[in-house]
Structure 1
Amino acid sequence: MSTRSQSATQRTLQGLLLKRFGMAVATYGLTALLCWVGFFVGLFQATAQTAVLMTLGAAASQLVFLALFLSRGNLRFADPSLTEAQVLTALTWLTLLLGLFDEGRGSMLVIYVLIMLFGVFQLPPRVFVRCALFAFFGFASLNLYEGYQLQLSTPSVAIMQVCVLAVVLTWLCLFATYAQAMRQRMRQRRFALQAHQDTLRGMMRQLEDLAATDELTGLCNRRHFLRLASHELEGMSRGCQHGLALLDLDHFKRINDVHGHAAGDRVLQTFAAVARACLRDGDVIARYGGEEFVLLLPNTEADQFSACCERLREAFNHAEPLGVRVGPLSLSIGMTLVHKDDDLDDALQRADQALYQAKRDGRNRCAATWEDADA
């Protein structure tokens, strides 16, 4: 993955984590509101100064997390969301808060559920169970300490609250395990679907290549060439010209009759290799049919085009097919130029006429019809 892609991914991740952190801060705010409601109705067994200090302490802890997210310091941790740390911090503050409630403690137990739900879909099951045990033993220790200090007004209610919390936390642990298993299964299915999609894309590319490529020579086939040539002609600017040529292997039928079709196939493959070596990357060479090929040179002049075709013809004259001896090879070429608004079929017909002229003149040569292309 490139550095730019990694940076974009990190920015997206940080945006999501800040939104989750905003939800956590909102939960702190609602809990603080309940705390002050309990204070004003007489359920909070502490002074106003204690309530203010606890509110400021909770706010300070959240400022620490906010600083980590804004500075991207959270990315240095194994879990950039810092979910476990946020859950444990919230559980600690809640347990301390419940120690200052008396009769209203039972109604505040629901905050444990809100805190634990924050980690249901993010924490691994083992970590979630660890947080649940921290919450349970924190609340149970609070009641045991008050019982030891003989400060419990109703021990039976305290026992019931501990049992209820144990049941709720157990259910949350089971639900978290189920949610993580479903999430893992969905992730595996997504990866499997992605793998199938990649396979299908690869198969589609192979099918496209097969549909556009001549199997024997590896060059473009006739259909693909006509599509490419039409696209090139449509994109031509005024004053620009392309070179178009039809190429025919001389005496190819005799090669097949005397040496066999395997030798003829090797000759075709030899020509394809020679053409790739002689042409530029932007030039288009295709098998037009049988032993006939078609060549398109974008943005060329007549003398440059002629020189290219002559170079290709001479290179094929000196080529030797691997593994067979079929005598000297030769090539006849008919050339023309194509201008903007020129018809492709007309241009191919001009090149075909030039090709027949080269054959009538004795083969192994190039012939051209420049004047018709300029008309």
Structure 2
Amino acid sequence: MSSSSQRVTQRRLKGLLLKRFGMAAATYALTGVVCSVAMFNGLLQASWPTALLFTLLVTLSQLGFFAVFRAGKNLRFRDPSLTEPQMLVALGWLTLLLSSFDEGRGSLLVIYPLIMLFGVFELQPRVFVRCALLAFFGFAGLNLYEAFTLRLDDPAAATLQVCVLAAVLIWLSLFASYVQTLRRRMRQRRFALQAHQDTLRGMMRQLEDLAATDELTGLFNRRHFLRLASRALDNLRAGRQHGLALIDLDHFKRINDVHGHAAGDRVLQAFAAVARACLRDGDVLARYGGEEFVLLLPDTDCEQFAACCERLREAFSRAEPLGVKVSDLSLSVGMTLLTMHDDLDEALHRADQALYQAKRSGRNRCMAAWEEADA
């Protein structure tokens, strides 16, 4: 992945984490509203200075988390969301807050599962259970401390509250484990689907290569060449020209008759190997049919194109097909030039006429359509 893509991904992750932090901050704010209602109704056993100090400390803790998220320092941790630290801090504040309640304590127990829900989709089951145990022992310890100090007004109600909280936390722990199992299975299926898609794309590329390639020579086939040549002709600009040539291996039928078709195949493969060595990377060569080939040389002129075809003809005359002793190898070439607004079929016809003239003139030579025009 490039550095720019990484920066975009980190920016999106940072935005997502800030949104989740905003949800947590909203939960704190709603809890503050509930506590204000409780205080006005005399259910919160704390003075206004104590309540303001508690609110200030809670706000400072959240500002600390916000600063970490804003600076991006959370990305250094294994869990960039810092879900467990945020939950532990929230559970600690809630337990401390409940110590100031008496009659209304049971109503605020719902905030425990509300906090725990933040970790259902993020925390591993063992980490979630750890947070649940902290919530349970925090609340149970609060009630035991008040019972030990003889400040627990209704032991039966406190016992019921502890049992209800235990049941809810156990259910949430099981639910979190189930959710994480589902996420793991979905992740595995996504990876498997990605692997299948990659395999499918590879097979599609292989099929495209097979559809565009001549099996014997490894060169492009006629259909693919015509597609490439049409595209090159469409992109041709004024003042530029492409070279187009039809190449025919001389006396190929005689090679097949004397040495066999296997020898003929070796000669075709030898020509393909020679042509690859003589041509540039951007040049396009294809098997046009039988022993005939077609060549497209982008961005060239008469002299360069003729020199290239002549070099190819001389190189083939020195070729030695693998495992076959064939003497006097030669080829004939018909050349023409493609210009802007030219017609590909007409250009192929011009090259074919030039090839015909090369054959009539004794073979083993390169003839150009522009030479006939000059004559």
Give runs of ≥4 in structure 1 deviating > 4 Å: 371-374
- How far 1:6 moved relative to its partner? 2.0
Aligned residue for 1:262?
Answer: 262
Please, which runs of 5 or more residues in structure 2 have no aligned partner?
none
Supply the AA of the counterpart residue of 1:62: Q
Structure 1 residue 34: Cα displacement: 1.2
- Aligned equivalent of 1:317: 317
Tell me: CA distance 1:187–1:55, structure 2 relative to 1, closer, same or farther (3 Å).
same
Q: Which residue in the other structure is 2:18 paired with?
A: 18
Unmatched tracts of structure 1, length 5 or more: none
SS of the residue corresponding to residue 220 of structure 2 reads coil
User: In structure 2, how many angstroms separate the alpha carbons of the residues matched to 1:70 and 1:270?
Assistant: 66
Per the alignment, residue 87 of structure 1 pairs with 87
Instruction: Name the SS of the counterpart of 1:81 in structure 2.
Output: coil
Shift of 1:341: 1.5
RMSD: 1.2
Between 365-374 and 120-129, report the one with greater CA deviation: 365-374
Contact 1:350 1:372 in 2 (8 A): no
AA at the equivalent of 1:289: G
Distance 1:373 1:5, change over 3 A: farther
Q: What is aligned with 1:34? A: 34
1:213-224 counterparts in 2 under 5 A?
213-224=213-224
Q: How does 1:193-272 map to 2 (within 5 A)?
A: 193-272=193-272
Q: Structure 1 CA distance, aligned partners of 2:307 and 2:9?
A: 53
Structure 2 residue 285 is matched with structure 1 residue 288: no
TM-score of the superposed pair, with normalisation by structure 2 = 0.97
What amino acid sits opposite 2:42 in the alignment?
A: G
Aligned residue runs from structure 1 range 105-254, under 5 A: 105-254=105-254
CA distance in 2, matches of 1:299, 1:371: 20
Q: Distance in 2 between matches of 1:136 and 1:373?
A: 98
CA distance, structure 1, for counterparts of residue 328 and residue 373 of structure 2: 33
Instruction: Please say if residues 347 and 373 of structure 1, whose CA atoms lie closer than 8 Å, have aligned partners that are also in contact.
Output: no
Give the superposition deviation at 1:63: 1.1
Matches of 2:211 and 2:189 in 1, distance apart?
32
**CA offsets, 1:26-50, max 9 Å, x none?**
1111111111111111111011111
Aligned-pair distance for 1:372?
7.2
What is the CA-CA distance between 1:371 and the residue it aligns to? Answer: 6.1
CA distance in 2, matches of 1:160, 1:373: 107
* 1:372–1:107 Cα change, 3 Å: farther
Q: Distance in 1 between matches of 2:89 and 2:359?
A: 91
> How many angstroms apart in 2 are the aligned matches of 1:266 and 1:8?
54
**Contact 1:249–1:331 (CA under 8 A) maintained in structure 2:** yes
Deviation at 1:87, TM superposition (A): 0.6
Q: Given residue 17 of structure 1, which amino acid in structure 2 is its aligned partner?
A: L
Cα drift, residue 373 of structure 1: 7.8
Alpha-carbon distance between aligned partners in 1 of 2:281 and 2:46, rounded to the nearest angstrom = 83
Q: Assess, with a 3 A threshold, how the Cα gap between structure 1 residues 369 and 73 changes in structure 2: closer, same or farther.
A: same
Q: Residue 280 of structure 1: CA displacement?
A: 1.3
> SS of the residue aligned with 2:96?
helix
Is 1:333–1:366's contact at 8 Å kept on the other side of the alignment?
yes
Counterpart secondary structure, 2:294: strand
Distance 2:33 2:145 in 1: 27
Aligned length: 374
CA distance in 2, matches of 1:42, 1:73: 42
Q: TM-score, normalised by structure 1?
A: 0.97
What is the DSSP-based 3-state SS (H/G/I as helix, E as strand, rest coil) of the residue aligned with 1:109?
A: helix
